[in-house]
Amino acid sequence: MVKLINILKEVLKELADTNKTFSFHKSGDDVKEIEDSEYLKGSIYYNFETESKLEYEVQISYLPDYDEIYDYVHDEQEQMIEVNFYVNNGSGESVFSLTNNQKELFRVMSTIVSCLKDALKEHPFKYIVYHPSDHKNSGRDAKGAKQRTKLYNYYIKKEFPNSEMSKKGPYEFVKLQ
């Protein structure tokens, strides 16, 4: 019971400050204009380390107008980005996951949103596209993917309050206003 109380205290402490982020840095940027187009392509990479020594990489990919994701949004042709984040598994390989320990979850999400805001200042975009991992990719069930979607949506709505959210096919779309 004491252990449960301590865990709850940690979670409540973090919930009280959901804007707190880890220190992050940009580790790469190969975004460039597509010839004869107003679209960008390439990625920006950010890295950060949590207090528990998990190393994350955030990849923000600018999707060219010929990417298949644009087929899901027939009425709009605006710059889209796809966001992915990875935990380094210690072998030097990046593994797609949100398998951090629970007490750092909110700071990780706040840091990822801060990376998005940084990229938005440098290379503007209109849509954020993401696909929460499911049981095929992460060893978790579909319920876990739904819970992650709710978490991601919470942070996006909090930081981009006028955004419009929709699900089309396997993707979640956020249209920024």
CATH of the domain at 58: 3.40.630
Position 26 pLDDT exceeds 50: yes
Instruction: Quote the domain boundaries for residue 90.
Output: 2-175
Looking up tokens 């499911």 gives 134
Instruction: Name the H helices within 94-177.
Output: 105-122, 135-138, 142-159
- Choice between 72 and 108, residue whose per-residue pLDDT is larger: 108
| Farthest CA pair distance, the chain | 64
Number of domains in the chain: 1
Name the pTM for this structure. 0.79
- Mean pLDDT on 140-155: 75
- Choice between 12 and 104, residue whose per-residue pLDDT is larger: 104
- Mean pLDDT on 130-134: 73
The DSSP H or E segment spanning 120 is helix 105-122
d(CA 152, CA 47): 19
Looking up tokens 């006028």 gives 162
Predicted confidence (pLDDT) per residue in 46-72, tens digit = 999 988 888 899 999 998 887 888 888
Contact 59, 86 (CB under 8 A): yes
